[in-house]
Amino acid sequence: MASKKIHAIYTDDDLLMQAVKQTRAANYHISEVFTPFPVHGLDHAVGLAPTRIAITSFLYGLTGLSVAVLMLNYIMIEDWPQNIGGKPSFTFYQNMPAFIPVMFELTVFFAAHLMVITFYMRSKLWPFKKAENPDLRTTDDHFLMEVDAENHDVEKLTKFLYDTGASEISLIENEQDH
Amino acid sequence: MSSHYEAPIREPLVLGEKSYHDISVDVGAPVLGKANKSWWIVFTIALIAFLWGLGCIIYTVSTGIGVWGLNKTIGWAWDITNFVWWVGIGHAGTLISAVLLLFRQKWRMAVNRSAEAMTIFAVVQAGLFPIIHMGRPWLAYWVLPIPNQFGSLWVNFNSPLLWDVFAISTYLSVSLVFWWTGLLPDFAMIRDRTTSPFQKKIYGILSFGWSGRVKDWQRFEEVSLVLAGLATPLVLSVHTIVSFDFATSVVPGWHSTIYPPYFVAGAIFSGFAMVQTLLIIMRKVSNLEAYITILHIEYMNKVILLTGGIVTTAYIIEYFIAWYSGVPYENYAYLSFGAATGPYWWAFWALIICNLIVPLTLWVKKLRRNIVWTFIVALIINIGMWFERFDIIVIDLSKDRLTSSWTMFQPTFVDIGTFMGTIGFFFVLFLLYARTFPVIAQAEVKTILKSSGESFKKLRAVHGDDHSHVQTVEPYPADAGPSANVEDKNFDSSFNDLDEETENNQVDYEANRGKIDNLLSGIGTFDPATQTQDDLKKISGVGPVMEQKLHQLGIFTFEQVSRMTDREYDLLDEIISEFPGRAKRDDWAGQALILKNKN
Amino acid sequence: MYTLPSKLKLFSIIIMVLGLAGITYGFLTAPKTIEDVKEIMAEQDAHHGGEHAVEAHGEEEHTANFVDVARGEEGYSEAAMEHATDLKPEGHGSASHEEHVLHQLQTRPWSATFVAAFFFLMIALGVLVFYAIQYASQAGWSPVLYRIMEGITTYLLPGSIIVFLIVVFAGTHFFPWQNEELVAGDKILQGKSGYLNFPFFVIRAVIYLLGWNLYRHFSRKNSLAQADANNYDPYRKNFKLSVFFLIFFIVTEATMSWDWFMSMTPHWYSTLFPWYVFASMFVSAITVIALVTIYLKSRGLIPFVSDKHLHDLAKYMFAFSIFWTYLWFSQFMLIWYANIPEEVTYFIIRIQEYKLLFFGMLILNFVFPILVLMNSDYKRVPWFVVIAAVFILVGHYVDIFLLVMPSTVGHNWYFGIPEIAALLFFMGLFIFVVGTGLGKVSLRPKNDPFIKESENYHF
C-alpha cells in the first residue's frame, strides 16, 4: 500500500510535546511517535486510548487463584487426604491456612507472567524480531514524529513542522506498512 | 515548563552538564569498550572460587551428604544458613525496583538495574543449596506437583518447604521478567549505537526488536507499575515463607510470630549492604560517579538504617518476649542470655556487633556520606546477617528440649568450599553482567534528567522555575556510530571533526552579502580591538555549529544578539535556512540580554 | 481557614451528651452482686427458653469437637478454654462460675469505653506517626496535607488523658496480674512481675503519652513557625524531631500494646502482636486523613489539594489494608500451625465466641478494600473512597473490639448500649476537637520547602 509520511525529528522532549499538541491542533494526523524514553503525558497528547493491560493482569491473577484452589483441593482433600502434622484435611476451608501461601504465589505467577507475555505479543516484541524505529537516534536522544501526508500539501506541512521546532524533516513515500 | 519542577532543597541525582546523549554514551561505554586489567584479575579470582565450589558440589553429590558437618541434632546448618542469606540478599533488588517505584523515588533509577541483577544472581545461588541438599539433584523435579509412577502420591502442601518451592520459583521468574522488560529499551540503545555487526546482532536479539513507539512506552509503563504492585507483596511473601520454614515448628527460638516481618526487614537490610558493596566498586570501575552519586549512597544508607532499626526492634522484642514468656527453653534461644554466654558466644556477639552496633555509626551524616566507611560497614553487615541466620539455625538447634542431645556443629571443608564457591559464582555472574549489560536504566534516568539533573536545577535556580527546559542537541548524522559521538561533548579534542562538518554548513557569504549587511546594521558590528567575544553557546538554542555560523556573519557578542528584533530574525532565517524560526522561538534576544547583564 | 460549622458542632455535642448518658447507664446497670447475676442468668434462660441454651451448648460442643478432631485429643479444647479464662478469680464450682460472670459483666462497661476511647486515640496517634514519616522521608507529595494531619492530632491530648485514666483505674477488670491473690498462686505471673507491676505500668504509660504529646506539641509549633520564617530552620528542626520521635515510637508502641492489650491475658504472648496493633492503627489513621480531606475538599476549603493527593491516600489505604491482613495471617497461621496449647487459646475463644466478628472483620478489612480500591480510577472518586473508608473504620473498630472483649468479658459480650454509647461519645469528642483544631490557622502550610512540589507533583 502506498502511503506518504513525513518524519519530523525533534531533539527535546518538551519541544516534542509542544509539537505534538500543535500538530494535532492543526488537524494533522500523527501516525506514530518514536522516543528514547517514556515522555510523561505523551500518550495522552497523541490521543492514544488508555492501555487495558492492567485489567488483563487482574483476570490472569483470578485464573491463577482458581487454578491454585482447584489443584490444592484435588490433591490435598479429594485425591489422597492424609493426616500431616495433625492439620485438618477433611474440607478445603479447614486446611486453608496452610494453602494461602501457595494460592498467593500462583496468583502472582499467573498475573505477572501472562501479563508480560500479553505485552510482548501486543507490542510485537520477541527474540529475532526486527526493530522498526526508522532512525537509529530515536533510542538515544532524538524524537521522531511520523505524520500522515497523504491528503496534505507536503510543502505546507513541512513548513508547519519546521515551525514546531523540528530539526530534520524527511518525506517517506511508498513505505510498506508493517 | 513547570512540570519538571522539583524542590530546590533536594540535591541533584545526575551530576554535571549531562544531555540525553551523554547518558547513552556513559551507560554504553562499559559495554562498547574493552575490559581493563582489574576486571580480568577480579574475574579470575571469582572464577577460581566458583570452580572450587563446583568441585565441592560434585564431591558432595557423588559421595553423599555425609561429607557435610551435619549431625543428628543439628540436621540443618550451613546449607540452610547460606540459602536464607542468599535469598535475603536478593530482596534489596526487588525493593529498589518495585517498592521504590511505587513510592516514586527518583534515585532508584540509577541503581535499580544492578540491584535487580544482583537479586537474580543471589537467588540463583540460594536455589543451589536446597537442590544440592536433595542428594540426588537430578530428581529435583519431584518437588513439583506432577502425577507420578508411585500412584496417587502428591507433594505435601502442608509443608512450608513446599511453599518455598513455589515462592522462590515465582520470585526468581518474576524478577527475571521484570528485569528483562526494563532492559529492552536499553538493549535497543546499545543495538543502535554499536558499530560492531556482531554486537548489533546480539543486542538486536536481546532487545526483542524494541522500537520505542509511544504505544509501547504506554504499555511498558503500565506493565512496570503492575509488576511493581505484584512484586511488592511477592518480595514480602518470599522471606515470609522462608521464615515459615522455621516459625511453623515448635522449636524454641524458631516458633515466633514476629518472624515474617522481621525476616523481611533483615533481608532488605542485608540486601542493601550487598548493593552498596557492589555499586561502590562499580561506579568507580565503570565511571558512573555522575549517576550513582554520594546522594544515592546516602539514601541507601538511610534504608539500611531504617531496616536495621526494624531488625533491632525485633531483636529487642524477641529478647524481651523470651523472658516474658517464662518458658525455660527460651533461655537457650539465639537471642538470650544463655546464647550470649554459652558455647556459641562468639556467634552471638558477632551478630550483635555487626548488625546492631556497627551500623549505628551511619547515624552520623559524615560517615553516611563517606564511601570507604560505607563500604566497610556494608561488608560488616553482610557478615552480621550471615551470622544472624547461623545463630537462628545452629544455636537454636544445638540446645533443644532434650539436654542429652545437646551438641555442637562443626563445618567441614566441603561446607566452606561450597559457600565460597557460591560467592565466586555470584561474582562471576555479576562481572559478566557489568561488561555486557547496560548497568544503568538509561531510559529511566533520562526521564528524571530535567527534574533532578544538576544543570537543570541550576537553570531553574538562575532563571526561575518556568524557564524553558528545552535542550539543544548538536546535529549528528543518523549513521554515525559511537566513535563519531563519544567525545563530542569536548569540542577542543574533536575540533578536527567539527571542521569537516562546518565545511558543509558554510554560509554562502557572497550570495547573502546584502542581507548580512542589513542584519549587522540592525544589531551593530563587532570590533575585535575593543570588544571581547562572548560564548554564544550559552544561549539556549545555539550550539557550536550555530555559533560558528553566527561568527561567520559577524555576530560575536550577547549585545549584538540582544538587539535582534523580528526584522533581524527574519533576515537570519533567510541567511541560515536550516532552523527557521528557532531564534525567535527560543527568544535569543531575551536570553542574550540576561546573559549580557550577568557578564 | 476552617471553622467548625455550628450544625456539626451541635451534632457533636448532642452525640457526646447521649454517649455520656449511655456510658453512665452502662456503669450503673452493671450487676453489683452475685444475686444480680443469678437473676440475670435466670431471666436470660426464661427469655430465650431452654431450647436456645441447649442449641448454644450444642454449637459449643461442635466447635469444641472441631478443635479436638484437629488435635486428635479428646476434651482438649475445653481444657484450653478453661485455661484461657482461669486467669480470672479462682475456682471451678458453680458459685465461682457466677462470680466469674459477675466479674465479666462488671467489666463490660469498662471494656466498651476503652475500645472506643482507644480506637479514636489510635487514629490520632497513627496520624501523628504518618506525619512524622512524611517529614523524616522528605516526602514531596504530602505537605499540602500537613495542616489536616495536625488538625487530627489535636485529639491526641484529650484522647491520651482519657485512655490513661481508663487503663490506670480499670485495675483487675482488665489486668488480672494486678490481682495480688492470683499472682501469689501463679508462678508464671510471679516471673513476670518485674515488668507487670502497677507502679512500673503507670510510669510507662506516662512516658509514652508524654513523649507522643511532646512531639505533637513541638512539631506543630515548628510547622507553624515555618509558615512565617524566611529560612528553613523550623523545617530542619522538625525533620530531626520526627526521626527521633519515630525511634521513640517504635519502642513505646511495642510496650504500649503489651501493657494495654497483651497483658489482659498475661499468660499469652506473641512477638508479632505490637506490629499487628500498629498495622490496625496506621490504616485507620490514613483512612481518617482521607475522609477529612474529602470533607474539606467538598467544602472548597483546600483548592490546592487535587485528586492526585486523594489517589495517593487511597493507595495507602489499599496497601496498608493488605499489610494488616499480612500480619493478621502471619500471626494466626503460625499459631494455628504450631498448635501449642498456651498459644491457641487466644484464637480458640475468638473463633468460638466471636466467630462472625472474627471472620467478618477479614471481609471488612481485606476483601472490601481490595475490591473497592483495586482500580486506579476509583481511587480518585471521592464517594468510592468514602465507602472503602467506612468499611475499613468499622473493620478496625471490630479489630480493637476483638483485642479487648474476648480477653476481658469472654463470652459475656453483647453489642448494646454501653458499646454504642461509648462509640458515640468519643466520635462526638473527636469531631469537636478535630474540627476546632483544624480551624485555628490557614490550611495551606506556606513556606514549606516541598509545598510547591506537593502542589505540582505528577506521576
DSSP secondary structure letters along A14-35:
HHHHHHHHHHHHTT--EEEEE-
pLDDT above 50: residue B493: no
**Which chain B residues have a beta carbon less than 8 Å from that of C238?**
none
Question: Which one, of C236, C216, C217, lies nearest residue C226 by Cα?
Answer: C236
Q: What is the pLDDT of residue B392?
A: 92
Q: Which residues contact C452 (CB under 8 A, 6 or more apart)?
A: B5, B7, B465
Lowest model confidence (mean pLDDT) among A82-91, B235-244, B245-254, B583-592:
B583-592
Specify whether the CB–CB gap between C320 and C284 falls below 8 A.
no
Q: In this structure, is residue C70 part of a structural domain?
A: no
Q: In this structure, is residue C60 part of a structural domain?
A: no
Lowest model confidence (mean pLDDT) among B38-42, B128-132, B352-356, C200-204:
B38-42
Q: What mean pLDDT, rounded, does chain B reach?
A: 85
Mean per-residue pLDDT, B444-469: 86
Lowest model confidence (mean pLDDT) among A59-73, A84-98, B536-550, C212-226:
B536-550
- Residue A90 sits at the chain B interface (C-beta within 8 Å): no
Task: Output phi, psi for B498, to 5 deg.
Answer: -65, -35
Q: In this structure, is residue C446 part of a structural domain?
A: yes
Residue C3 is placed in which grid cell? 471553622
Dihedral angle sign, alpha carbons of residues C87, C93, C94, C99 = negative
State the Cα angle at C291 between C289 and C292, rounded to 5°: 65
Max distance between CA atoms of chain C, in angstroms, equals 77
Please give the Cα distance from C164 to C203 (Å, whole number). Answer: 11
Q: In this structure, is residue C42 part of a structural domain?
A: no
User: What subunits touch chain C, counting only 3 or more CB pairs under 8 A?
Assistant: A, B
Q: Which of residues 490-549 of B touch A (CB under 8 A)?
A: none
pLDDT above 90: residue C287: yes
Please give the Cα distance from A143 to A155 (Å, whole number). Answer: 21
Q: What is the pLDDT of residue A2?
A: 53
Q: Give the pLDDT confidence of C309-356 residue by residue, as tens digits.
A: 999 999 999 999 999 999 999 999 999 999 888 889 899 989 988 999
Query: How far apart, in Å, are the Cα atoms of C252 and each of B403, B520, C133, C211, C263?
Result: 37, 76, 16, 9, 15
User: What subunits touch chain B, counting only 3 or more CB pairs under 8 A?
Assistant: A, C
- Residue B205 sits at the chain A interface (C-beta within 8 Å): yes
Q: In this structure, is residue C164 part of a structural domain?
A: yes
Nearest CA in chain A to B225: A54
Question: Which alpha helices (DSSP H) does C72-145 contain, by range?
Answer: 76-85, 94-136
**Residue C360 — pLDDT band, cuts 50, 70, 90?**
very high
Specify whether the CB–CB gap between A17 and A35 falls below 8 A.
no
Q: Which residues contact B77 (CB under 8 A, 6 or more apart)?
A: B68, B69, B70, B390, B393, B394, B397, B409, B411, B415
pLDDT above 50: residue A96: yes
Dihedral angle sign, alpha carbons of residues C176, C180, C186, C191 = positive
Mean per-residue pLDDT, B462-471: 80
Please give the Cα distance from C432 to B414 (Å, whole number). Answer: 70
Specify whether the CB–CB gap between C209 and C159 falls below 8 A.
no
Residue B307 is placed in which grid cell? 531496616
Task: Output phi, psi for B557, to 5 deg.
Answer: -120, 160
**What residue ranges define each of the domains in chain B, with the CATH number in brackets?**
2-12+35-146+156-449 (1.20.1630.10), 470-598 (no CATH)
Q: Give the pLDDT confidence of B215-273 residue by residue, as tens digits.
A: 999 999 999 999 999 999 999 999 999 999 999 988 888 999 999 999 999 999 999 99
Q: Give the pLDDT confidence of C13-24 residue by residue, as tens digits.
A: 999 999 999 999
DSSP codes joined into one string, A53-103 = HHHHHHHHHHHHHHHHHHHHIIIIIII----BTTB--SSHHHHGGGTHHHH
- Among C269, C311, C377, pick the best mutation site for testing chain B contact (most B Cβ within 10 A): C269
**Residue B170 — pLDDT band, cuts 50, 70, 90?**
very high
Task: Output phi, psi for B211, to 5 deg.
Answer: -115, -15
**Residue C295 — pLDDT band, cuts 50, 70, 90?**
very high
Q: What is the pLDDT of residue C391?
A: 95
Higher pLDDT, A119 or C106: A119
Exposed, middle or buried: residue C149 (CB in 10 Å: 0-12, 13-18, 19+)? buried
pLDDT above 80: residue B274: yes
Q: What is the pLDDT of residue C133?
A: 95
Specify whether the CB–CB gap between B270 and B383 falls below 8 A.
no
Q: In this structure, is residue C167 part of a structural domain?
A: yes
Mean per-residue pLDDT, B26-44: 85
Mean per-residue pLDDT, B367-387: 94
Which candidate from A95, A116, A141 shows the least CB-CB separation from B223?
A116
Please give the Cα distance from B76 to B393 (Å, whole number). Answer: 7
Report the gap between the CA of A140 and the closest CA in chain C (Å): 23
**Residue C256 — pLDDT band, cuts 50, 70, 90?**
very high
Q: Give the pLDDT confidence of C66-100 residue by residue, as tens digits.
A: 555 555 555 555 555 554 544 444 444 455 677 77
Report the gap between the CA of A151 and the closest CA in chain B (Å): 24
Specify whether the CB–CB gap between C409 and C105 falls below 8 A.
yes
Q: What is the pLDDT of residue B257?
A: 93
Please give the Cα distance from B238 to B215 (Å, whole number). Answer: 33
**Residue A87 — pLDDT band, cuts 50, 70, 90?**
confident
Please give the Cα distance from B123 to B368 (Å, whole number). Answer: 28
Higher pLDDT, C45 or B354: B354
Domain count of chain C?
1
Helix (H) or strand (E) holding A168: strand A168-173
| DSSP conformation class of B336 | S
Which candidate from A54, A58, A97 shows the least CB-CB separation from C333?
A97
Residue A8 is placed in which grid cell? 519530523
Q: Give the pLDDT confidence of C100-146 residue by residue, as tens digits.
A: 788 888 889 999 999 999 999 999 999 999 999 999 999 989 999 99
**Residue B598 — pLDDT band, cuts 50, 70, 90?**
low
- Residue B212 sits at the chain A interface (C-beta within 8 Å): yes
Report how far Cα B109 is from the mean position of its chain's Cα atoms: 7
Q: Between B and C, how many residue pairs show a Cβ–Cβ distance under 8 A? A: 95
Q: What is the pLDDT of residue C76?
A: 52
**Which chain A residues have a beta carbon less than 8 Å from that of C333?**
97-98, 100
Higher pLDDT, C1 or C353: C353
Q: What is the pLDDT of residue B218?
A: 94
Specify whether the CB–CB gap between C278 and C320 falls below 8 A.
no
Q: How many CB atoms lie within 10 A of CB B147?
A: 11
Higher pLDDT, B519 or A67: A67
Q: What mean pLDDT, rounded, does chain C reach?
A: 86
| Percent of chain C clearing pLDDT 90 (strictly above) | 58
pLDDT above 50: residue B497: no
Please give the Cα distance from B122 to B385 (Å, whole number). Answer: 15
Specify whether the CB–CB gap between C114 and C26 falls below 8 A.
no
Residue B522 is placed in which grid cell? 540592525
Report the gap between the CA of C273 and the closest CA in chain B (Å): 8
pLDDT above 90: residue C159: yes
Q: In this structure, is residue C51 part of a structural domain?
A: no
Q: What is the pLDDT of residue B495?
A: 34
Exposed, middle or buried: residue A34 (CB in 10 Å: 0-12, 13-18, 19+)? buried
pLDDT above 60: residue C49: no
Length of chain B, please?
Answer: 599
Q: In this structure, is residue C260 part of a structural domain?
A: yes
Q: Which amino acid appears at position B512 of this protein?
A: N
For A105-159, the three-class secondary structure string (H helix, E strand, C coil) is HHHHHHHHHHHHHHHHHHCCCCCCCCCCCCCHHHHCCCEEEEEECCCCCHHHHHH
Q: Which residues contact B179 (CB under 8 A, 6 or more apart)?
A: B97, B113, B116, B117, B119, B120
Residue B588 is placed in which grid cell? 535569543
Residue A178 is placed in which grid cell? 508493517
Q: Which amino acid appears at position C103 of this protein?
A: H
Mean per-residue pLDDT, C279-298: 95
Question: Which one, of C28, C23, C107, lies nearest residue C428 by Cα?
Answer: C23
Q: Give the pLDDT confidence of B72-123 residue by residue, as tens digits.
A: 889 888 999 999 999 999 988 888 889 888 888 889 999 999 999 999 999 9
Lowest model confidence (mean pLDDT) among A90-99, B412-421, B475-484:
B475-484
Q: What is the pLDDT of residue B214?
A: 92
> What's the domain range around C276?
6-30+94-456
pLDDT above 50: residue B492: no
**Which chain B residues have a beta carbon less than 8 Å from that of A46?**
214
Please give the Cα distance from B30 to B34 (Å, whole number). Answer: 7
Lowest model confidence (mean pLDDT) among B16-25, B308-317, B570-579, C328-337:
B570-579
Residue B201 is placed in which grid cell? 546482532
Q: Give the pLDDT confidence of A28-64 residue by residue, as tens digits.
A: 889 899 999 999 889 999 989 999 999 999 999 999 9
Q: Look at C340 and B255 and tell me if their CB atoms are within 8 Å.
A: yes
Q: Which residues contact B280 (CB under 8 A, 6 or more apart)?
A: B297, B371, B374, B375, B378
Please give the Cα distance from B244 to C270 (Å, whole number). Answer: 15
Q: Which residues contact B211 (CB under 8 A, 6 or more apart)?
A: A34, A131, A132, A133, B188
| DSSP conformation class of A38 | P
Lowest model confidence (mean pLDDT) among B29-43, B163-177, C297-311, C353-367:
B29-43
pLDDT above 60: residue C52: no
Report the gap between the CA of B298 and the closest CA in chain A (Å): 27
Q: What is the pLDDT of residue C166?
A: 94
**Residue C459 — pLDDT band, cuts 50, 70, 90?**
low
Please give the Cα distance from B236 to A101 (Å, whole number). Answer: 11
Residue A73 is placed in which grid cell? 483441593
| Percent of chain B clearing pLDDT 70 (strictly above) | 89
Specify whether the CB–CB gap between A132 and A172 falls below 8 A.
no
Taking the C-alpha atoms of B94, B100, B101 and B103 in order, what is their torsion angle to the nearest 10 degrees? 150
Place of cell 520547602: C449
Higher pLDDT, B538 or B47: B47
Q: Which amino acid appears at position C424 of this protein?
A: L
